[in-house]
Amino acid sequence: MSNVTLMGMENGIARQVCYGDFVTKGCAAPATVSAVGATTLTVAQLASGAIIRTGQSAGATDTLPTAVQIATALINNGGSLPDVGDAFEVTYANDGGFTITFAMGTGITAVYNNTVATKVTRRLLFVCTAVGTNTFASGVWTNTGATFDFYTL
């Protein structure tokens, strides 16, 4: 198996891509999510590039943001318009005592595995499968119709 280094462009200069880089510039501190039961993850938590999940008192379901929310964040937070095949990863550490199951936000399709067992860290991979329509108005991009495939690796 060979190593692959993802490279991106910033101001015309190539550099190595960090986790969450499509949503934020640079690498942010991990997001900590402490919830007893089910919770909905935010785009900001995904943008951190790493999520540490704690606090569940039984198996729980974490719902992902919608594909449109993700695509809009990619555009508005220093990223670019996503193309089909563009991907980003988020490290997800289940530091709680029970399995987490992911529910898909609208426009996201689970392709491979959607659970993280207790005390296990996985990579969450999001791959753009449809760009949708992007509109720019009043200094803000909006997206309709974007879709992503979701893999838990």
Residue 43 — φ and ψ, nearest 5°? Answer: -60, -35
pLDDT digits (tens, 9 = 90+) for 69-95: 999 888 877 667 788 999 999 999 999
Work out whether strand 50-54 and strand 31-34 pair parallel, antiparallel, or are unpaired. parallel
pLDDT digits (tens, 9 = 90+) for 98-150: 999 999 999 999 999 999 999 999 999 999 999 999 888 888 888 899 999 99
pLDDT-based confidence at residue 96 (cuts at 50, 70, 90):
very high
pTM: 0.79
Give the percent of the chain with pLDDT over 70. 79
pLDDT for 2 equals 38
Q: What is the number of alpha carbons within 13 Å of residue 105 lying toward its C-beta? A: 20
Task: Identify the band that residue 25 occupies on the pLDDT scale cut at 50, 70 and 90.
Answer: very low
